[in-house]
Amino acid sequence: MTMTQEVIKQYDRYVMNTYVRSPLVLTKGKGSRVWDVEGREYLDLFPGWGVSGLGHNHPWVTRALRGQSRRIIHVPNNYYHPLQARAAKKLTGVSFDGKVFFCNSGAEAVETAVKLARRWGEGRYEIIVMEQSFHGRTMAALSATGQPKYQEGFEPLLAGFVRVPFNELDAVLRAITPKTCAVLVEPIQGEGGVRVASDEFLAGLRRLCDERKLLLIADEVQTGMGRTGTWFAYQHSTVEPDLLLLAKTLGGGFPIGAVVARRAIADVLVPGTHATTYGGSPLGCACILAVFEAVEKQKLLERVNALGRYAFKRLAALKERAPVVREVRGRGLMVGIELTIDGRPVVDACRAKRLLINCTQDRVLRLLPAMTITKAQLSRALSILEDVLMGLSH
């Protein structure tokens, strides 16, 4: 029995079967490369489902983890720690004037936003959400998610989420009732198929929210921290949200989430109204600061823009040649390639050629390359993908 088979056998016996897994046991990562337990090397164009946005084991993140773990790993939130203050200052510095609540995951950021919006709403509790959105698996986040397939078997869901088609402002307008307190939107739907919110839609949402006194909540768990070429995807538009939800790349691999709220809104949560034991731990905040340092000093936003332009140009050319490619969408280094066929065999064929990618919504190949990926690596990955897709086009 190979090591791979042995580990999979143990999972089958001892680990809950909640994930669709590829038969790959990964034990090491560096930048855009990962190695499996058999010593095989892969090019990872979907590192950590967006978590490892700086690449695997970015040296500044591992340095931060090592250094901080020697001092103190955890400080509970009934005391203070300087790094939580610094991380919050950095986050508001690149977004908007406000305050931060730290948590541990994307779903928990969504939960926080739902509680904050309801408390701010003073009796208004409905939140307008988008079809095909994805906000996580805990009960409020699941209820907010606009995809019934994830909700089946878990009813009754949390009440108060009103679903409308994405990018349709009129539908949002029609869905507003005297009970509405907020609109929740991903500026680019990730799991929903890399679908980009139009500038008009975001601007329209902002206008509606201002007119009707609703909170505009941007779920940037997947798009945040530089992925699309700006710190946050909403910054491609003229619109600023009231709440900004973050996780994934924020911790450079370390599990951490955050909600940035405009100052007056943030003040609705007072001691005793919300908490999480691990939120904003020194270890997590050291990682956030390392991520900021890397994005700024290594000029990763510029890199994302340059490499994104390169990738989209090559993919546009591929679309002309490969009839199985229906549409190429996204921004920066967030890429969706919609096919006319099932994408899973493409993912498997790429893996056989030592390239890791993702497929969502059955037919949309999703690439979230590390912001540190080299042009040579990106080019090699695209060549593999081109080969596979051209092969399927004949």
Catalytic residue numbers read 134, 219, 248
Which stretch, 54-62, 216-224, 317-325, 334-342, contacts ligand PLP (CB under 6 A)? 216-224
Min. distance of Cβ 136 from ligand PLP in angstroms? 3
Tokens of 377: 């690596």
Contact, 356 vs 350, CB < 8 A? yes
Nearer to ligand PLP, 258 or 388 (CB): 258
Is beta strand 33-36 parallel, antiparallel or unpaired with respect to 334-339? Answer: unpaired
Q: Which stretch binds ligand PLP (CB under 6 A): 168-176, 215-223, 224-232, 353-361?
A: 215-223
Position 201 contacts ligand PLP (CB under 6 A): no
**Minimum separation from the CB atom of position 82 to ligand PLP (A):** 26
Question: Can you point out the beta strands (E) in 8-146?
Answer: 26-30, 33-36, 41-44, 98-103, 126-130
Site string for ligand PLP, 129-148 (x = CB under 6 A): -----xxx------------
Closest CA to 332 of 306, 359, 356: 306
CA-nearest of 157, 210, 156, 158 to 183 is 210
Q: Pick from 343, 362, 353: which is nearest to 381 by CA? A: 353
Cβ partners under 8 Å of residue 240, min gap 6? 96, 206, 234
Nearest to 181 by CA among 213, 150, 149: 213
Distance CA 46, CA 126 (A): 34
CB under 6 A: which stretch of 166-174, 217-225, 236-244, 309-317 binds ligand PLP? 217-225
Q: Which is nearer to ligand PLP, 227 or 325 (CB)?
A: 227
Near ligand PLP by CB under 6 A, which window of 159-167, 183-191, 318-326, 353-361? 183-191
- Restricting to residues 225-254, name those near ligand PLP by CB under 6 A: 247
Shortest Å, Cβ 353 to ligand PLP: 26
Cβ proximity of 227 and 333 under 8 Å = yes
Is 106 a binder of ligand PLP (CB under 6 A)? Answer: yes
Should residue 219 be labelled a site residue for ligand PLP when binding is judged by CB under 6 A? yes
Are the C-beta atoms of 143 and 175 separated by less than 8 Å?
no
Structure tokens, 289: 């600061």
In the list 95, 180, 222, 358, the residue contacting ligand PLP (rule: CB under 6 A) is: 222
According to the binding rule CB under 6 A, does residue 221 interact with ligand PLP? Answer: yes
| CB closer to ligand PLP out of 32 and 222 | 222
Which residue from 190, 224, 226, 332 is in contact with ligand PLP, where contact means CB under 6 A?
190
Q: Using CA atoms, how far apart are residues 94 and 84, in angstroms rounded to an integer?
A: 16
Nearer to ligand PLP, 130 or 388 (CB): 130
Span from 23-31, 99-107, 164-172, 281-289 in contact with ligand PLP (CB under 6 A): 99-107
Q: Which stretch binds ligand PLP (CB under 6 A): 37-45, 164-172, 218-226, 294-302?
A: 218-226
Q: For the chain, give percent helix, strand, coil, nearest 5.
A: 40, 20, 40
Give the residue with the Cβ less far from ligand PLP, 58 or 248.
Answer: 248
374 within 8 A of 32, measured Cβ to Cβ: yes
At 342 the three-state DSSP class reads coil
- Choice between 369 and 389, CB closer to ligand PLP: 369
Over its C-alpha atoms, the chain yields an Rg (Å, rounded) of 21
- Residue in 36, 111, 191, 338 binding ligand PLP, rule: CB under 6 A: 191
Q: Which residues pair with 99 in a beta bridge?
A: 261
Tokens coding 51: 């978590």
> Given candidates 186, 236, 339, 381, which one binds ligand PLP under the rule CB under 6 A?
186
53 is a site residue for ligand PLP (CB under 6 A):
no
How far from 216 is each of 212, 305, 314, 381, CA to CA, in Å? 11, 26, 35, 37
Comparing CB distances to ligand PLP, the nearer of 92 and 249 is 249
Q: Count interface residues toward ligand PLP (CB under 6 A).
A: 14
Residue 36 sits in the site that holds ligand PLP (CB under 6 A): no
Distance CA 109, CA 125 (A): 17
* Footprint of ligand PLP (CB under 6 A): 105-107, 110, 134-136, 186, 190-191, 219, 221-222, 247
